[in-house]
Amino acid sequence: MEIKQLAEFDATLGDILDTDKKRRRIIYLRDAMQQINIGKTIFKGFGFFLIPFIIIPIFWPFLAFFWFMKKKANSLMDTQLANALDYWGIQKYEIDNSQLQHPA
């Protein structure tokens, strides 16, 4: 979710009402948040797979590297979401508990 991608998404919206633009942006960010959660779940699952290797000291550097990379990746994903929210001026609670209204 780079700023360039967000600007390209905005360009695809064209000349629609601001309320509809915001609704579509919220949907986009909700989907992105779901993908972030999937990524974190995959990291967590792979981490559980590596637990048996804790008893073998030769794997400790690899495990430390994995832990460090997992922490950095999670931080990067959270930062990208926060930047996207700031870019569009949307609050996090709007994505978590959004009551999307569909036009009649």
Q: Where are the domains of the chain?
A: 24-96
Res. 79 pLDDT band, cuts 50 70 90 = very high
Q: Which residue has the higher pLDDT, 62 or 47?
A: 62
For residue 97, name the pLDDT band (cuts at 50, 70, 90): low
pTM for the predicted model, two decimal places? 0.75
- Helix, coil or strand: residue 42: helix
- Show the DSSP H helices in the chain as ranges: 3-13, 18-49, 60-88, 92-96
